Structure 1
Amino acid sequence: MANKKHKPKARQPSNSKGGNVKATPLKNEEGAMIFSFKHLQLEHPKGKFCIKAKDGDYIFKVLSRLKDVSQQKASDLRQSGGKSLRAHTIDWSSTSEKDGFSHLNEQLQSVTPYQFQFSANEYGRIHGFFIENVFYAIWLDPGHELYP
């Protein structure tokens, strides 16, 4: 007789203390910024906005900065211009990408584009757009290639 492998049965959650944990949605703390990378373009057709060659220190610094910025209110960044971040809208006509975020659908292309810096010139900028308090990152620009 062949030796059959025993398949363990999935356990049913218990009703005892701590057995059933219900997930509760997190509430956004008074409009704090949220970052989305849903539309991040990692490979630009012209070879721009690439972080592939960057080392772990660069990635660490960028993520640390995004974490810090996420503590701010999105409305403050948009209204005050985020002076320490040099946040401002993008005027495509004065950039190296005259067609803007042309790879996005028409509706997203019509949203006002923004940029801000990660730190002084060393780490570059991030380009994207806001929808409410969510900043959709489109390009990471370590070489300042949008405004050469």
Structure 2
Amino acid sequence: MDITDNGPEPKAFDIEAATKENENYRVVAWTGKYLQVTLMSIPVGESIGLEAHPETDQFLRLDAGRGRVKMGPEKDRLTFQEDVADGWSIQVPAGTWHDVENTGDEPLRLYTVYAPVHHAPGKVQKTADDAERDEEAGADEPPSWAVEPEAGQPDEHA
């Protein structure tokens, strides 16, 4: 399935099929003024990477695979852990350290809803390393038309 981010214009698509077919680490599927939808594929034994978004709430839904979510108030104090699988959702409050690890034997396929917008519209990152390089180079910033919080704390990565 070919996904094109036409945000902030109206859009409808089969998100479950698109999520299951996605083979890229992250694909920005739609970017609105206040929220964003991304598709993700996490290889066996890998994870999203421990991070915290001080001003971004997240909703994640798994459509294939198995994993373990860890969350907590500090990167060294992940007090919440849950095994998750196809059909599960994960809610990450702003400022919460979190990671989702693929513990299964197939790619972990999920989609994420960020509020506010977190990535560049239409951005496709084949691997987690690509995503990290884009972030370090400033090549994965929200669009100017998205409503962002006043200058606040930057995201944190462990």
Tell me the TM-score normalized by structure 1.
0.24
Larger helix fraction of residues? 1
Which structure has more strand as a fraction of its residues? Answer: 2
